[in-house]
Amino acid sequence: MVAQMPLKQRISAGGKSLLKVFSGTANPELAREVADYLGTDIGMLKITPFSDGEIYVQIQESVRGVDCFLLQSTCAPVNENLMELLILLDAFKRASAGRITVVLPYFGYARQDRKAAGREAITAKLIADLLTTAGANRIVALDLHAPQIMGFFNILVDHLYASPVLLDYVRSLPHKDVVLVSPDSGGVARARAFAKKLNDAPIAIIDKRRSQHNVAEVMSVVGDVKGKVAIMVDDLVDTAGTLVKGAELLKKEGARAIYACASHAVLSGPAIERLQSSPIEQLIVTNSIPLDSSKSCDKIVQLSVARLLGEAIARIHEDCSVSELFE
């Protein structure tokens, strides 16, 4: 077990190398929260674009022998944030950092994890190879789209779950008689894990068919939702088409109230408009992806995963168990 002492003392105790947290430009607010939890400052970086769009990076302090944690969500603009991360990794490697751990609150391209049709790329594997080649020694990822993605990396991967943060909020809702709903058959394990933490609440499954990318056709509900508070559970919300169609079906099947939980608020395209006009009372998400003013919606509740990420970083630095966070 981790010693019960102030965190700032813990991460500098035992003669270990110095710990430093650095942030790319994708999610600096979350990085600052993580650094505050650890009782440290964000490391100094210079990240600027050239006039032609190329990215310039310089580490503005010594990292020789330092245990470096680099936080960057590869969210929109995905390619720019990913390229920035690769350049940062190269800079840290060339600066003789002791260990470089990439903290990925959101791993873009994770949905391209297999060949669903002929002549497709498995882009998630490509990104894993790029991160490793660029210099990452370890990965900390939050709620990967598929756990098998951990196997795409040839380096250590710590897979964290936002469920403790989401569940704390769900437990505070003034509702009883809940049913956990998986938006598709692939998310049943996730819904069942949530249900187990909520006094073994029942689960239901929405049977859907996807005719093309970002287009889903809802078919039916497997399970009893009539008169119950339905809580839909998914790893991410993108265009919200699946989520809203599922909520409409749950309402039609007699659900008394409908909530939704997702770790990652991608919210692209018509997502906000769809949410506003949907029967969903609240969409509960984390700050793995920052929400700008264009994604403001009074139905969205955003929770911080800074404490979770900070504790995982401290445990990795201390060579302590990360899995104990979820036991």
> Could you report the per-residue pLDDT of 22-57, keeping only the tens digit for each?
999 999 999 999 999 999 999 999 999 999 999 999
Cis peptide before 164 (omega within 30 of 0): no
CA-CA-CA-CA torsion sign (234, 298, 36, 79): positive
Helix then strand then coil, in percent of the chain rounded to 5, is: 35, 25, 40
Q: What is the mean pLDDT of residues 93-118?
A: 97
Please state, rounded to an integer, the average pLDDT across all residues of the chain: 93
Six-digit token string for 283: 């969409």
Distance CA 58, CA 40 (A): 20
What is the CA angle 31-74-274, rounded to 5? 100
11 pLDDT more than 80: no
Domains assigned to the chain: 7-161+306-326 (3.40.50.2020), 163-303 (3.40.50.2020)
Q: For 275-310, what is each residue's pLDDT tens digit? A: 999 999 999 999 999 998 888 899 999 999 999 999
8 pLDDT more than 90: no
pLDDT at residue 218, as a whole number: 57
Q: For 115-174, what is each residue's pLDDT tens digit? A: 989 999 999 999 999 999 999 999 999 999 999 999 999 999 999 999 999 999 999 998
Of 230, 290, 238, 289, nearest to 260 (Cα)? 230
pTM, 2 dp:
0.92
